[in-house]
Amino acid sequence: MGINASSRGFTLIELASTLAITGIIIGAIVSGNHLYHTAKLATIISEMSDYKEAVQNFSVKYRSLPGDMPDASSFFGDCGGSAAICNGDADEQIDYTTSDSTDESFTAWKHLEMAHMVNNEFSGTGSGVATIDTNVPPASMNGGGYILGYGTAGFTDVNVLILGAEKASDNLLNGTISPADAYTIDKKIDDGSPVAGSIRAVEGNGETTCINESTTPDTYAATVEDSVCRLSLDLSSDAT
């Protein structure tokens, strides 16, 4: 029995409709993924801004940087450890060391917690080893976290907030964000340069593909999709 023209026409129309609907669904998925990713980057920007504001507010209220406050134990007790660990050396630097008695980068988060300027709870110690959700706060993407320090991660003489990922038995030295995403954040907050301005990029531990040094000036290696970058924010700047 033959197939008449009307049956064949209906089948072609049905096929075309199915393809169109499939295209719409795929487009919606791609668009949704893009929107989700964009929202994640916006959250990272918001987190960096909030932590910077917390440090600045602490400095105004207590006339000292968190971690560096020499009489912190008078306000916060022993910070969960001892007065020697709780108190800083008042040199206007959030010092990172591998000794809990002199390290201020982990104590800084404990000070911010006890001053009710951040919501997380922190141990305040770590012997030089950063552990996300224990002595440093988590970031909202790629398993990263934040640490405070001085004169590091692309800067020489300022206190900084650093976004990175855990390195075993060490600090947040591994990359946690791709060059393209790092550029997006940098351009939104600052000047889009990985080596200048108030936000800068550094290679993750063992990585060499975050920054393109073959250009003048250096640029983000935007074609690299792996999470090879860390980002640092100058806490004294007006950015964010």
Domain annotation covers residue 239: no
**pLDDT the model gives residue 82:** 87
**pLDDT the model gives residue 2:** 53
Domain annotation covers residue 112: yes
* Spatial contact of 153 and 203, defined as CB atoms under 8 Å apart: no
Q: What is the mean pLDDT of each run of 10 residues along the chain (240 residues)?
A: 51 69 65 74 96 97 97 90 91 90 93 96 93 96 94 95 94 95 96 97 96 96 96 87
User: Residue 56 phi/psi, 5° resolution?
Assistant: -65, -40
Closest CA to 107 of 138, 134, 128, 85: 85
Domain annotation covers residue 49: yes
Domain annotation covers residue 70: yes
Instruction: Please tell me the total count of domains within the chain.
Output: 1
Beta bridge partners of 174: 165
**pLDDT the model gives residue 79:** 86
Closest CA to 91 of 69, 72, 63: 69
Domain annotation covers residue 240: no
Domain annotation covers residue 218: yes
Domain annotation covers residue 69: yes
**pLDDT the model gives residue 67:** 96
pTM of the model: 0.86
Domain that holds residue 204: 5-234
CA 44 to chain centre: 6
**pLDDT the model gives residue 73:** 95
**pLDDT the model gives residue 97:** 85
Cis peptide before 70 (omega within 30 of 0): no
